[in-house]
Chains A and B, each alone.
Chain A
Amino acid sequence: MENLTINTAVKQTLRNIKMTLPMLFGVIFFMGLILQLIPNSFYSILETKNIFGILIATGFGSIVAGTPVNSYILGGEFLSKGVSFSVLAAFLAAWVTVGVIQFPAESSLLGKKFAIIRNSCAFISAILIGFLTAILLGFWV
């Protein structure tokens, strides 16, 4: 891998593009379809205020995908509907760190074992962040 020529670097990059592009567009089109299929009423489930709220929020945040801006806008709506900060924190953390929709791309480029372990760790972490946020905000008087 040391001292590559331009030709070799171009060839490696083209190989990378060939491997990556179909999966990336696949994920975008998958996301497009899934987001249209989720009914608006589903979002109201998140208003559950207890441990189930955190679990549902983590699960929901893991399945849907999009830019963090969208998660803030959705999160703002949840808050106005009475969703707690712990549920909100779990939702925001899972939204960015767990990627069920992106799993095929992550798995194909970084390895199946890597993708499974990384997403599982991130899923559990989102739940813990939900609890810790509630505790830490409670202490902050």
Chain B
Amino acid sequence: MKKFIDFLIEKIGVSGIFILSLLIFYLITFFVRPKIFSTAINFSIETSLKVLPIMLLVFLLVFLSNFFITSSKIKKHFGEEAGIKGWLLSIFGGIISSGPVYMWYPLLADLKEKGMKNSFIVAFIYARAIKIQILPLMLFYFGFKFTIVFNILIIIFSSINGFIAEKLLNAKSIL
């Protein structure tokens, strides 16, 4: 079994295995629960169409980053010597970023390759829990006190997560 999995990883990669498993799941659902299959397909197509414009924007950002942003610039603003400015920029970037988190992985992977510190990537992803655009909705549902407390905690925990994750990622013995 292990040999077979290794063979598959070598041939189609981890992402290929994921897609293959997904196709099998859908195929089983099609025969066992056809109603769920059609609802899931409709939901997924609808979501894909919604995220498509954002994806185009993200890939445009990736292109611009490939063309204009050099490793030295990234290292200066988000690298080892970035300091407090790096933290503030990452958290602010996370707060104002829109769309699903997975849309941001390609750009973050690109910036990481150019020298962005892991702590800032983690802080960026964490700070995405604050959504300026839908803050009025949060106030409407949960009230002023909860909204203030929750959002302040998210900002604090963005830095804590970034700091701890960086330490753990640098520890060679882990994973």
Q: Which of A2-61 contact B (CB under 8 A)?
A: 2-4, 6, 8-10, 12-13, 16-17, 19-20, 22-33, 35-37
Is B91 part of the binding interface, using a Cβ–Cβ cutoff of 8 Å? no
Contact status B63-A13, CB under 8 Å: yes
Contact status A4-B129, CB under 8 Å: no
Give the complex CA separation of A102 and B134 in angstroms: 22
Q: Which of B106-160 contact A (CB under 8 A)?
A: 106, 108-110, 112, 114, 118, 121-122, 125-126, 128-129, 131, 134, 137-138, 141-142, 145-146, 149-150, 153-154, 157, 160
Give the complex CA separation of A122 and B153 in angstroms: 13
Task: Spell out A's residues near B (CB within 8 Å).
Answer: 1-4, 6, 8-10, 12-13, 16-17, 19-20, 22-33, 35-37, 65, 67-69, 72-73, 75-76, 79, 85, 88-89, 92-93, 96-97, 99, 102, 104-110, 112-114, 116-118, 121-122, 125, 128-129, 132-133, 136-137, 140
A-B contact pairs, 21 of them (CB 8 A): A1-B70, A1-B71, A3-B70, A12-B66, A13-B59, A16-B59, A16-B62, A16-B110, A33-B22, A33-B40, A33-B44, A75-B141, A75-B142, A89-B150, A96-B101, A102-B102, A104-B14, A106-B105, A114-B121, A121-B122, A128-B157
Residue of A19, A107, A125 with most partner-chain B CB within 10 A:
A125
Residues of B within 8 Å of A29, CB to CB, are 22, 26, 40, 44
B50 to chain A, nearest CB (A): 9
Chain B count of residues within 8 A CB distance of the other chain: 65
Of the candidates A2, A88, A93, the one whose C-beta lies within 8 Å of that of B129 is: A93
Contact status B134-A24, CB under 8 Å: no
Contact status B125-A88, CB under 8 Å: no
Please count the residue pairs between chain A and chain B whose beta carbons lie under 8 angstroms apart in the complex. Answer: 189
Task: Spell out B's residues near A (CB within 8 Å).
Answer: 14-15, 18-19, 22, 25-26, 29, 36, 39-41, 43-44, 47-48, 51, 55, 59, 62-63, 66-67, 70-72, 100-103, 105-106, 108-110, 112, 114, 118, 121-122, 125-126, 128-129, 131, 134, 137-138, 141-142, 145-146, 149-150, 153-154, 157, 160-161, 164-165, 168-169, 174-175
